[in-house]
Amino acid sequence: MKKLVFSTGAGISAESGIRTFRDSNGLWEEYPVMDVASHTGYLKNPELIHKFYNGLRKKLVDAQPNSAHYAIRDLESMFDVRVITQNVDDLHERAGVSNVLHLHGELMKVRSTKHEERVYTLTPDNLETSLDTRDEYGDPVRPHIVFFEEPVPNFSEGMKLAQQADIFVVIGTSLVVYPAASLIDCVRPGTPIFYIDPNPSNISRPNLTIIKKTASEGMKELTEILKTMQ
């Protein structure tokens, strides 16, 4: 089976009602990104960080995967599908996708502030955390999110996957946040690349096809193309 590697961003979850970051009405318009998504912000006001991610979690548990998430899952019958996502939501997993690599962490998880390998999954009926939340060892926890100014531990694995891709697909990302935005440059020369986004960033690469559509519409079109490329 050919290896079909997706690199997804906030746009794939937009039709599930999850706000993107940089579109008009995006999250970073309402909340200063450095307050709620940077290491400095976390050190300055961790209480705000807990509140912010509690709010995002509540929205996430009410959201459902959309047809683009399911279309990726359906391609598993034809391809060895891998998803590298910048998203912290769990909609790829809830759509049944088997292999998902999160570059920027996972909203439904928290980790110990003392032992970062101790990661815990929250449940929909117990998704709020605060400065007082303790893990089973009595240590405080923080959101399992990669804040700006922090390393991206899964990036090297993402790079490997991009290098192995026979076909590489980018969906719903403004391609401004690094290192995630550089995955497209890790593909082997000659690899077909597709980029689905209604408002794509202005990039050009050899073998790049831009599908200027929403994720759900774009995935319908791409699925037909991929059927001819198995």
Catalytic residues: 104
Among residue numbers 83 through 112, which ones bind ligand OAD (CB under 6 A)?
86, 104
How far is residue 54's CA from residue 143's CA, in Å, rounded to a whole number? Answer: 9
How far is residue 221's CA from residue 105's CA, in Å, rounded to a whole number? Answer: 30
Is residue 37 at the binding interface for ligand OAD, with CB under 6 A as the rule? yes
Distances (CA, A) of 195 to 9, 73, 139, 147, 209: 11, 18, 43, 26, 6
Smallest gap from Cβ 213 to ligand OAD, in A, equals 8
Is residue 198 at the binding interface for ligand OAD, with CB under 6 A as the rule? yes
Contact with ligand OAD (CB under 6 A) among 7, 20, 112, 129: 20
Neighbours of 121 (CB within 10 A): 10
From 57-65, 94-102, 109-117, 194-202, span contacting ligand OAD (CB under 6 A): 194-202
Among residue numbers 41 through 60, which ones bind ligand OAD (CB under 6 A)?
none
CA dihedral 165, 72, 23, 48 (to 10 degrees): -100
Residue nearest to ligand OAD (CB): 11
Contact with ligand OAD (CB under 6 A) among 18, 83, 215, 226: 215
Q: Which of 210, 163, 156, 170 is nearest to 191 (CA)?
A: 163
Smallest gap from Cβ 203 to ligand OAD, in A, equals 11
Please give the sequence-ordered ranges of beta strands (E in DSSP) within the chain, or none if there are none.
3-8, 80-85, 100-102, 105-112, 119-121, 141-145, 167-171, 193-196, 208-211
Contact with ligand OAD (CB under 6 A) among 4, 6, 15, 211: 15
Neighbours of 175 (CB within 10 A): 20
HSE, CB side, 13 Å, CA atoms: give it for residue 138.
Answer: 0
Contact with ligand OAD (CB under 6 A) among 6, 21, 42, 79: 21
Is residue 174 at the binding interface for ligand OAD, with CB under 6 A as the rule? yes
Among residue numbers 113 through 152, which ones bind ligand OAD (CB under 6 A)?
146
Contacts with ligand OAD, residue ranges (CB under 6 A): 9-11, 14-15, 20-23, 26, 33, 37, 86, 104, 146, 172-174, 176-177, 197-199, 214-215
